């Protein structure tokens, strides 16, 4: 999506007006229950929730925050390609970890090291002396 209009100083020129229209269309699809969305104007900086009408007014009055190049608060996905080198062939999985918060289970590897040092004293073979070998069927 072309966002060069965001850097325009003339907020009344055709490109800027069209850009705001585009944004408003996007924002309309990402409103909360009250019909409000984050306002990306320079005054609100996405910190405040405004109605679509107010957002439009703000964008004309204050201008859109030029730092808001990716409309992540309005449904636009963060571009992963932005963070990784272009020529990387197999590094896609590593980059995906930026979004992944679930890193459970990785710490178990440290326990294995401790176990091997202790298992020397455990006699091998007699470990499976369980109580499951019985199986009496005194069904009288
Ligand atoms: Zn605003």
Residue 8, in any domain of the structure: yes
In a domain, 122, yes or no: no
56 Cα–ligand 1 center, Å: 8
- Give tens-digit pLDDT for 27-55: 999 999 999 999 999 999 999 999 999 99
Phi-psi region of 115 (alpha: psi -120 to 50; beta: other; left: phi over 0): alpha
Strand extents, DSSP E, the chain: 36-38, 49-51
Q: Print the domain residue range for 12.
A: 4-80
State in Å: Cα 57 to ligand 1 middle.
8
pTM of the model: 0.56
Domain membership of residue 39 (yes or no) is yes
At residue 2, the pLDDT reads 86
Confirm whether 19 is domain-assigned: yes
62 Cα: distance to centroid of ligand 1 (angstroms): 7
More confident residue, 46 or 94: 46
Average pLDDT over residues 106-129: 52
Question: Helix (H, G, I), strand (E, B), or coil: what is residue 10?
Answer: coil
Report the separation in Å between the CA atom of 43 and the middle of ligand 1, taken as the mean of its atom positions.
5
HSE (side-chain half, CA atoms, 13 Å) at 21: 7
Residue 93 lies in a domain: no
Q: 121 lies in a domain?
A: no
Number of domains, the chain: 1
Q: What single-letter DSSP state applies at residue 102? A: -
């Amino acid at each position: 999506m072309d966002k060069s209009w965001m850097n325009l100083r003339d907020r009344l020129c055709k490109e800027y007006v069209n850009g705001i229209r585009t944004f408003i269309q996007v924002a309309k699809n990402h409103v909360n229950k009250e019909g409000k969305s984050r306002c990306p104007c320079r005054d609100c900086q996405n910190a405040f929730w405004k109605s679509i009408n107010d957002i439009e007014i703000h964008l004309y009055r204050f201008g859109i925050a030029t730092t808001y190049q990716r409309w992540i608060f309005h449904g636009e996905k963060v571009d992963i390609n932005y963070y990784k080198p272009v020529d990387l062939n197999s590094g896609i999985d590593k980059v995906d970890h930026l979004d992944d918060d679930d890193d459970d289970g990785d710490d178990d590897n440290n326990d294995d090291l401790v176990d091997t040092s202790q298992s020397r004293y455990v006699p091998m073979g007699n470990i499976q002396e369980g109580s499951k070998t019985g199986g009496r069927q005194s069904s009288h």
